[in-house]
């Protein structure tokens, strides 16, 4: 999927369960960010404190969904104001992003600080952001420490840095214990009735669903559903890529050795996936209405108890999974599985350590005091304040054991699952969309920077039934069910920006439109028409600028690796 599709979400779900679920034994050692020295993280705060500056309020627009507020009305924001004298009046997106960004550009009036999400390219092209290079050199040693390993990826063609991304890795890489990325999900009751079998291949997964549906034919069950609404359509089209043993690099499958990028929208992997859905439809086990349902209707079906299985990303279904957990019926909750086409394939659902360089936060040309703002940003990037913004206040939002390990009690976890409480604490505003240590980062003492990456937090959130089920599979966390990711220095390929109007960029638009046109037609067709419709689709697909797209992506992937390796 494209970055534009991803972060929507992304990141809200990313935020809710700490996004980017990755798993690796040594991913952090193979990225430039591993050069960051956790032992030096507080050097900038060791100097004598200067007199507290006069209070000031800046404006901050964030192009994601949240409730508008002043940062100093939150517990974390008030602590930061006490340190710096700075408050932010935070505004979030209501309505259409392009309209909001377009109005700013037309008027040339901007907030002091902006995180424009998918509008980042338009904001940069409009020259709405100021260069940060000199400000960082003069006033921001922590920013330099955290981000300098990534400068080659952050600089625009003119050599300037205009915004700070949200994913620099500091310390050793820590994988997510829960699945906030892709997986094939199946209702717990299906596994229970089958005796908790080992399930690896697509055929095994489909048989589980088929057998359970046959045994409960009078319950009006939905064997499988999918999500096709709007930009979230990737949930219906990405599965064949994953089942072939590739991570979510977007539109391409990238060879580990050669870094050659090949599309998969017209290959045998996609054909096999669509034939599986067509077969399920013939057997009356596929949810026909899923090709027209919107996102809310999709989530409602997942929480309604009738859907036995589906593919999706953990961050995208977080609202449904939290609702199911709150409802308290363990049988109707879902278990994530790393399904592949054949047993010989190594799954790669978990993401490797990565740096996403096409989203971030910047200071605009309308900013009243860029120096004060950059100092505020720099102050965020100490270990102490990363602990504050991500974990909250000790004793209230988290606890520390005798060995210095951070965890949350069941009560603390429950409180922070309440969005209003999370906002009041400030964690709901500060855990993302600010200059930050990336999601997989760790402190010098080995604790995860992000609570969602701390195994103790994950395990404390599991019910007794969850723990018992995981034990049946010989694991303590869900991520242990999945293979560790291979190192992919370019990852994720979807973060590569393509020139607007280029053959490669046009391919992406037309390919999505074409797949939308044929997906429902092929999946819902009589079985006898499948091959004819598939051949028709492939013929149309091959008229697109496939070769140009693959050539461009291969070149850009190799360039990105060269930049990363210095």
pLDDT digits (tens, 9 = 90+) for 33-49: 444 554 455 544 444 55
Q: Please report the pLDDT score of residue 19 as a whole number.
A: 31
In angstroms, the CA 337 to CA 206 distance is 12
Tell me what pLDDT residue 175 has. 84
Chain-centroid distance, C-alpha 547: 29
CA distances from 2 to 9, 93, 231, 480, 541 (A): 12, 21, 9, 27, 18
pTM for the whole structure: 0.77
Burial classification of residue 186, based on how many CB atoms lie within 10 Å of its CB (0-12 exposed, 13-18 middle, 19 or more buried) = buried
pLDDT-wise least confident of 2-16, 175-189, 368-382, 395-409: 2-16
Structure tokens at 188: 């717990």
State residue 141's pLDDT score.
98
Q: Which is nearest to 332 in space by CA: 197, 201, 186?
A: 186
In angstroms, the CA 252 to CA 550 distance is: 8
Q: What is the pLDDT of residue 412?
A: 95
Question: Stretch 96-101: mean pLDDT, rounded?
Answer: 95
* Under 8 Å between Cβ of 212 and 219: no
Model confidence pLDDT, tens digit, residues 424-469: 999 999 999 999 999 999 999 999 999 999 999 999 889 999 999 9
Residue 212 pLDDT exceeds 80: yes
Q: Is the pLDDT of residue 114 over 80?
A: yes
Other beta carbons within 10 Å of 141: 16
* Per-residue pLDDT at 417: 87
> Tens of pLDDT along 278-329?
999 999 999 999 999 999 999 999 999 999 999 999 999 999 998 999 899 9
Residue 1 has pLDDT above 60, yes or no: no
pLDDT at 7: 37
Portions of the chain given CATH number 3.40.190.10: 25-175+355-459, 182-353+461-481
497-510: average pLDDT: 90
| C-alpha dihedral (556, 545, 542, 277), degrees to nearest 10 | 60
> Which three-class secondary structure state does DSSP give residue 164?
strand
Q: What are 380-406's pLDDT values in tens digits?
A: 999 999 999 999 999 999 999 999 999
Integer Cα distance of 36 and 446 in angstroms: 14
What confidence tier does 499 reach under pLDDT thresholds 50, 70, 90? confident
Q: Which tops the pLDDT comparison, 52 or 23?
A: 52
How confident is the prediction for the chain on average, in pLDDT?
A: 91
CATH classification number, 182-353+461-481, choose in 3.40.50.2020, 3.40.50.1100, 3.30.470.10, 3.40.190.10: 3.40.190.10
- Is the distance from CB of 541 to CB of 533 less than 8 angstroms? no
CATH number of the domain located at residue range(s) 25-175+355-459 in this protein: 3.40.190.10
Neighbours of 397 (CB within 10 A): 23
Rounded CA separation 172/38 (Å): 9
> DSSP secondary structure string, 114-155?
EE-GGGHHHHHHTT-B---HHHHHHH-HHHHHHHGGGHHHH-
Beta carbons of 413 and 422 less than 8 angstroms apart: no
Buried/exposed code over 490-527 (b: 16+ C-beta within 10 A; e: otherwise): bbbbbbbebeeeebbbbbbeebbebbeebbeebbebee
Percent of the chain surpassing pLDDT 90: 82
pLDDT for position 50? 60
Q: Residue 12 to residues 117, 421, 435, 456: CA-CA distances in angstroms?
A: 12, 16, 17, 23
């Amino acid at each position: 999927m494209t970055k534009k599709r991803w972060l929507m979400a992304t990141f809200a779900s990313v935020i809710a369960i700490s996004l980017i679920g990755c798993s690796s034994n040594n991913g952090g050692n193979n990225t430039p960010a591993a050069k960051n020295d956790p032992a030096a993280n507080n050097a900038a705060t060791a100097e004598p404190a200067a007199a507290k500056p006069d209070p000031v309020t800046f404006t901050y627009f964030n192009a994601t969904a949240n409730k508008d507020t002043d940062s100093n009305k939150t517990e974390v924001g008030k602590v930061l104001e006490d340190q710096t004298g700075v408050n932010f009046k935070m505004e979030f997106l209501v309505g259409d992003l392009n309209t909001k960004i377009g109005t700013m550009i037309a008027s040339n009036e901007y907030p002091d600080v902006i995180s424009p999400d998918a509008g980042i390219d338009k904001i940069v092209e409009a020259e709405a952001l100021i260069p940060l290079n000199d400000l960082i050199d003069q006033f921001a040693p922590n920013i330099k420490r955290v981000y300098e390993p990534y400068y080659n990826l952050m600089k625009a063609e003119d050599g300037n840095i205009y915004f700070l991304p949200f994913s620099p890795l500091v310390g050793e890489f820590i994988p997510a214990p829960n699945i906030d990325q892709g997986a094939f999900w199946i209702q717990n009751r299906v596994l229970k009735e089958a005796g908790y079998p080992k399930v690896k291949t697509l055929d095994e997964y489909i048989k589980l669903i088929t057998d359970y549906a046959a045994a409960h034919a009078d319950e009006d069950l939905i064997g499988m559903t999918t999500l096709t609404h709007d930009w979230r359509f990737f949930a219906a089209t990405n599965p064949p890529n994953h089942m072939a043993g590739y991570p979510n690099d977007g539109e391409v499958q990238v060879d580990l050795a050669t870094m050659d990028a090949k599309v998969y929208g017209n290959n045998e992997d996609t054909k096999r996936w669509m034939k599986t859905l067509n077969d399920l439809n013939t057997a009356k086990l596929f949810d026909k209405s899923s090709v027209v349902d919107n996102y809310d209707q999709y989530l409602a079906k997942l929480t309604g108890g009738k859907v036995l299985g589906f593919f999706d990303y953990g961050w995208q279904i977080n609202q449904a999974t939290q609702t199911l957990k709150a409802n308290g019926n363990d049988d109707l909750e879902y278990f994530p599985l790393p399904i592949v086409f054949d047993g010989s394939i190594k799954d790669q659902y978990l993401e490797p350590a990565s740096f996403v360089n096409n989203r971030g936060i910047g200071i605009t040309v309308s900013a009243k005091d860029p120096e004060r703002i950059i100092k505020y940003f720099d102050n965020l990037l100490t270990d102490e304040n990363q602990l504050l913004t991500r974990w909250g206040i000790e004793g209230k939002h988290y606890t520390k054991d005798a060995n210095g390990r951070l965890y949350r009690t069941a009560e603390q976890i429950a409180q922070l699952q309440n969005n209003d409480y999370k906002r009041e604490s400030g964690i709901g505003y500060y855990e993302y969309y600010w200059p930050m240590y990336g999601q997989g980062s760790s402190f010098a003492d080995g604790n995860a920077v992000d609570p969602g990456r701390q195994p103790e937090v994950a395990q404390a959130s599991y019910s007794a039934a969850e723990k018992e089920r995981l034990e049946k599979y010989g694991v303590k966390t869900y991520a242990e069910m999945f293979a560790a990711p291979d190192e992919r220095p370019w990852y994720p390929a979807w973060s590569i920006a393509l020139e607007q109007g280029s053959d490669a960029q046009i391919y992406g638009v037309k390919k999505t439109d074409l797949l939308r046109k044929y997906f429902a037609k092929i999946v819902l067709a009589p079985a006898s028409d499948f091959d004819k419709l598939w051949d028709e689709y492939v013929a149309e697909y091959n008229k697109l600028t496939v070769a140009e797209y693959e050539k461009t992506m291969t070149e850009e992937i190799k360039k990105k690796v060269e930049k990363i390796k210095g």
